[in-house]
């Protein structure tokens, strides 16, 4: 196989850009599967267009092209015809197009369809220059999409047959294409039916190999410390808290206590909706471990959340030695804490990923709790297994996931679900806000500020988009600073350093800001009781599950809270999806709706575990494929058959996941 530098068009700058994107080999370039496709084969008649779909049309301009400003947007619009019907076309923040769109000009346009005044409208379509089924890859800054497509075609032409990664009997039994055909078809499809078969084969292959990785991890038969906890001990635990536990909390703690009492190390996920009381269950498990003379670690994804958990644990464990270890702690303090951990002086350590590093050693660690599981991949979970006396691992997630997808994400874990919520939890009042009511909404929020409450304003991106449909966090902060003058507004986004993000969130908790303008980096699980308003811009750009998680940042006290969803999409599928959120507060039902409507992509996009989960995110997974991959993996392990070959293949493919034990 040739090297990247041997490909035509791969100059020094392109190679450097690819390297920055994690692509260093021809194989890595070919593994960069398209995220989507643009079907430029058959133009549609205007009368056949349906709202919510993408379509190609062959038309000409039938009237004057107009430009105007509407709110924050410059708008160019015109009317086109295919000779029988007419449709409107609109572009946002592209004023230069007005001079190019002259009456009578013929255009091949591809774009999203919605409706406007009862007739179809194309929104921000692209001009058709490439024909056929055009693959769309992830954006790599510095490489034009057409150049990337050309480079991948060069790579395909330069290599011989791509070797199969599944044993031939498995491929033949389940009607899968050989990998060479599947990869080439995924990059250069001839028709949609062939493309569907290729992507099904690749998806099934990825799923099966990953399931083998997870089952090999789970099948290690690790021996852990047996920590007994009888019913009286559990009653003593619940007396620590100033509330009565729900039935679900009692049930889950009994399951965990049973795991802890076994000599086989626990690997359990507790997933529950926002406000279901998972943290109290986890703290109770910590109590069981510490009461038996062992150490426990409580790991959070961010410093703000770690500090919150540290304060809660200190409140309930007055007799234990509790410490906090984060990346920003002074070196002298870190050294002292690590020494105290190694000697056994510290009973409970709370911290961030800093606890997983190799130089952190324990005296007799027996329990690790990972808060907000979606931030920890398999690799991080596995790193914990090398600490202490083969510790029990309890991970928690506030993101309900359909059972289908839990087979992918949590194949190495036993899964427990908490569905009940505390009785005093007040549902967040949710409304889809039309653009004409925007001023009224801001007026209402001012009253919340005056009453001593706070608000989040969330938008999907740090920067706006070329089409002008998205507002950036900086633009939104400037706008709100004018419309909400006199109130203190902070800014939070993913390009800020961790230290800066932690400082902003802490200042918000300390009420130094009335509001935060943020991307989705606002901390999952952070408790700000005085935050009563969540405003989400371009809400149609988020999945329902993600919107539900954002909504969960408010309503964390006994004060009525509000979530406002802003969207220009007043009709079609987007509007219907937002109505589901407006009328439903059950995160599990919402996640099922989301999976049915959007497929696996939304979940994959938000829960990545290294390069592999990025790869999974490129494909669509049918329920049939997911369950079949799980079934084959389970049967292979349970039969005790020789799976050394498939384990070897899985290890080679995903060797970047250093945690997988394949020996």
Residue 325 has pLDDT above 60, yes or no: yes
Residue 82 to residue 48: CA distance in whole angstroms: 12
Across residues 577-595, what is the average pLDDT?
81
Across residues 360-385, what is the average pLDDT?
71
Is residue 473 located within the same domain as residue 336? Answer: no
Tell me, yes or no, whether 515 lies in a domain: yes
Across residues 237-248, what is the average pLDDT?
83
Across residues 15-19, what is the average pLDDT?
90
Per-residue confidence (pLDDT) for residue 617, from 0 to 100 = 45
DSSP 8-state symbol, 128: P
DSSP 8-state symbol, 94: -
Residue 70 has pLDDT above 70, yes or no: no
Residue 327 to residue 97: CA distance in whole angstroms: 50
Higher pLDDT, 407 or 192: 192
Across residues 269-277, what is the average pLDDT?
80
Quick one: which of 11, 36, 28 has its CA closest to 152? Answer: 28
Per-residue confidence (pLDDT) for residue 420, from 0 to 100 = 74
Tell me, yes or no, whether 15 lies in a domain: no
Are the C-beta atoms of 526 and 398 separated by less than 8 Å?
Answer: no
Across residues 187-198, what is the average pLDDT?
91
Beta carbons within 8 Å of 518's beta carbon, 6+ residues apart: 456, 457, 458, 473, 491, 492, 493
Per-residue confidence (pLDDT) for residue 613, from 0 to 100 = 41
- Element spanning 589, H or E: helix 587-598
Residue 99 to residue 109: CA distance in whole angstroms: 17
DSSP 8-state symbol, 223: B
Is residue 357 located within the same domain as residue 397? Answer: yes
- Residue 441 belongs to what domain range? 429-584
Confidence bin at 266 (pLDDT 50/70/90): confident
DSSP 8-state symbol, 4: G
Residue 93 has pLDDT above 90, yes or no: no
CB count within 10 Å of CB 51 equals 17
Higher pLDDT, 492 or 625: 492
Burial code of 260-281, b = ≥16 C-beta within 10 A, e = fewer?
beeeebbbbbbbbbbbbbbbbb
Residue 399 to residue 497: CA distance in whole angstroms: 25
Averaging pLDDT over each range in 98-102, 574-578, 586-590, which range is the top one?
98-102
Q: Is 62 exposed, middle or buried (0-12, 13-18, 19+ CB in 10 A)?
A: middle
Is residue 407 located within the same domain as residue 439? Answer: no
Least confident among 54-63, 411-420, 431-440, 500-509: 411-420
Count of domains observed in the chain: 3
Is residue 410 located within the same domain as residue 452? Answer: no
Q: What is the pLDDT of residues 326-370, one digit of tens each?
A: 888 888 999 999 999 999 999 999 998 778 776 888 898 989 898
Least confident among 85-89, 459-463, 575-579: 459-463
pLDDT more than 90, % of the chain:
28
Domain boundary among 127, 162, 190: 127
Is residue 326 located within the same domain as residue 355? Answer: yes
From residue 482, alpha-carbon distances to 169, 451, 460, 479 in Å are 66, 20, 21, 5
Residue 222 has pLDDT above 70, yes or no: no
Higher pLDDT, 522 or 519: 519
Is residue 256 located within the same domain as residue 401? Answer: yes
Per-residue confidence (pLDDT) for residue 275, from 0 to 100 = 74
Confidence bin at 511 (pLDDT 50/70/90): very high
Per-residue confidence (pLDDT) for residue 6, from 0 to 100 = 86
Confidence bin at 183 (pLDDT 50/70/90): very high
Give me the CATH number covering residue 533.
3.40.50.300
Is residue 278 located within the same domain as residue 368? Answer: yes
Per-residue confidence (pLDDT) for residue 607, from 0 to 100 = 37
Per-residue confidence (pLDDT) for residue 651, from 0 to 100 = 60
Tell me, yes or no, whether 358 lies in a domain: yes
Tell me, yes or no, whether 190 lies in a domain: no
Confidence bin at 408 (pLDDT 50/70/90): low
Tell me, yes or no, whether 341 lies in a domain: yes
Residue 606 has pLDDT above 50, yes or no: no
Higher pLDDT, 83 or 549: 83
Across residues 22-40, what is the average pLDDT?
88
Residue 411 has pLDDT above 70, yes or no: no
pLDDT more than 70, % of the chain:
80
Confidence bin at 612 (pLDDT 50/70/90): very low
Is residue 475 located within the same domain as residue 387? Answer: no
Tell me, yes or no, whether 319 lies in a domain: yes
Across residues 630-646, what is the average pLDDT?
63
Least confident among 107-121, 301-315, 465-479: 465-479
Domain boundary among 369, 398, 418: 418
Higher pLDDT, 485 or 576: 485
Per-residue confidence (pLDDT) for residue 277, from 0 to 100 = 82
Quick one: which of 310, 309, 333 has its CA closest to 321? Answer: 310
Is residue 580 located within the same domain as residue 437? Answer: yes
Confidence bin at 523 (pLDDT 50/70/90): low
Domain boundary among 66, 94, 127: 127
Tell me, yes or no, whether 648 lies in a domain: no
Least confident among 81-95, 180-194, 608-622: 608-622
Per-residue confidence (pLDDT) for residue 43, from 0 to 100 = 93
Sign of CA dihedral 598, 602, 603, 609: positive
Residue 614 has pLDDT above 50, yes or no: no
Across residues 643-660, what is the average pLDDT?
55
Is residue 279 located within the same domain as residue 406? Answer: yes
Per-residue confidence (pLDDT) for residue 602, from 0 to 100 = 44
Q: Is 33 exposed, middle or buried (0-12, 13-18, 19+ CB in 10 A)?
A: buried
Give me the CATH number covering residue 61.
2.40.50.140
Average pLDDT, the chain: 81
Quick one: which of 628, 614, 625 has its CA closest to 656? Answer: 614
Across residues 269-282, what is the average pLDDT?
83
DSSP 8-state symbol, 453: -
Residue 423 to residue 162: CA distance in whole angstroms: 58
Confidence bin at 656 (pLDDT 50/70/90): very low
Is residue 403 located within the same domain as residue 447? Answer: no
Residue 547 has pLDDT above 60, yes or no: yes
**Beta pairing class for 36-40 and 132-136:** antiparallel
Per-residue confidence (pLDDT) for residue 340, from 0 to 100 = 95
Tell me, yes or no, whether 652 lies in a domain: no
Least confident among 19-28, 496-505, 600-609: 600-609
Residue 171 has pLDDT above 70, yes or no: yes
Confidence bin at 397 (pLDDT 50/70/90): confident
**Beta pairing class for 348-351 and 295-299:** parallel
Higher pLDDT, 167 or 470: 167
Is residue 392 located within the same domain as residue 459? Answer: no
Are the C-beta atoms of 130 and 40 separated by less than 8 Å?
Answer: yes
């Amino acid at each position: 196989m040739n090297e990247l530098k041997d490909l035509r068009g791969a100059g020094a700058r392109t190679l450097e850009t690819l390297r920055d994107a994690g692509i260093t080999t021809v194989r890595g370039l070919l593994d960069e599967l398209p995220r989507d496709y643009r079907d430029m084969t058959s133009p549609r008649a205007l009368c056949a267009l349906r709202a919510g779909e993408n379509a190609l049309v062959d038309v000409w301009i039938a009237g004057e092209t107009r430009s105007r400003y509407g709110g924050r947007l410059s708008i160019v619009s015109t009317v086109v015809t295919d000779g029988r019907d007419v449709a409107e076309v609109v572009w946002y923040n592209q004023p230069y197009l007005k001079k190019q769109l002259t009456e009578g000009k013929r255009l091949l346009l591809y774009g999203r369809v919605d409706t406007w005044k009862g007739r179809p409208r194309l929104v921000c379509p692209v001009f058709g220059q490439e024909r056929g089924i055009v693959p769309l890859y992830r954006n790599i800054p510095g490489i034009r999409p057409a150049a990337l497509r050309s480079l991948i075609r060069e790579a395909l032409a330069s290599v011989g047959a791509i070797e199969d990664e599944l044993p031939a009997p498995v491929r033949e039994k389940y009607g899968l294409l050989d990998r060479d055909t599947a990869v080439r078809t995924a990059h250069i499809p001839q028709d949609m039916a062939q493309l569907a078969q290729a992507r099904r084969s690749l998806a099934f292959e990825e799923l099966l190999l990953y399931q083998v990785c997870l089952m090999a991890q789970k099948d290690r038969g690790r021996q852990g410390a047996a920590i007994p906890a009888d019913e009286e001990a559990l009653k003593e635990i619940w007396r620590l808290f100033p509330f009565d536990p729900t039935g679900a909390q009692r049930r889950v703690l009994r399951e965990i206590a049973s795991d802890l009492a076994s000599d086989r190390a626990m690997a359990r996920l507790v997933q529950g909706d926002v406000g279901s009381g998972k943290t109290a269950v986890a703290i109770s498990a910590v109590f069981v471990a510490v009461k038996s003379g062992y150490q426990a670690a409580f790991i959070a994804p961010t410093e703000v959340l770690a500090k919150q958990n540290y304060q809660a644990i200190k409140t309930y464990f007055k007799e234990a030695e509790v410490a906090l270890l984060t990346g920003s702690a002074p070196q002298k303090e870190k050294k002292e804490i690590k020494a105290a951990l190694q000697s056994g002086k510290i009973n409970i350590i709370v911290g961030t990923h800093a606890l997983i590093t190799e130089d952190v050693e324990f005296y007799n660690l027996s329990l690790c709790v990972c808060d907000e599981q979606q931030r920890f991949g398999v690799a991080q979970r596995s790193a914990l297994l090398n600490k202490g006396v083969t510790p029990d691992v309890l991970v928690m997630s506030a993101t309900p996931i359909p059972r289908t997808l839990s087979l992918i994400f949590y194949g190495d874990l036993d899964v427990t679900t908490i569905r009940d919520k505390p009785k005093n939890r007040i549902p967040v009042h949710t409304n889809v806000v039309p653009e004409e009511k925007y001023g009224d909404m801001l007026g209402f929020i001012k009253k919340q500020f005056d009453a001593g409450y706070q608000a989040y304003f969330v938008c999907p991106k740090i920067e706006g988009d070329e089409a002008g449909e998205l507002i950036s966090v900086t633009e939104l902060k400037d706008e709100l600073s004018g419309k909400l003058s006199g109130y203190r507004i902070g800014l939070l986004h993913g390009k800020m350093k961790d230290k800066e993000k932690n400082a902003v969130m802490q200042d918000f908790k300390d009420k130094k800001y009335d509001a935060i303008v943020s991307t989705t980096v606002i901390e999952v699980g952070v408790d700000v009781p005085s935050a009563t308003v969540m405003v989400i811009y371009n809400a149609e750009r988020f999945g329902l599950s993600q919107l539900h998680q954002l909504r969960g940042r408010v309503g964390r006290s006994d004060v009525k809270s509000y979530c406002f969803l802003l969207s220009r999409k007043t009709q079609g599928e987007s509007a219907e999806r937002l109505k589901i959120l407006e009328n439903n507060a059950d995160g599990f039902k919402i996640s099922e709706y989301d999976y049915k409507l959007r497929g696996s992509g939304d979940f994959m996009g938000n829960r990545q575990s290294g390069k592999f989960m990025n790869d999974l995110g490129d494909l669509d997974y049918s329920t049939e494929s997911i369950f079949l991959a799980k079934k084959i993996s389970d049967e292979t392990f349970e039969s005790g058959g020789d799976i050394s070959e498939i384990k070897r293949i899985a290890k080679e493919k995903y060797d970047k996941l250093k945690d997988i034990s394949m020996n």
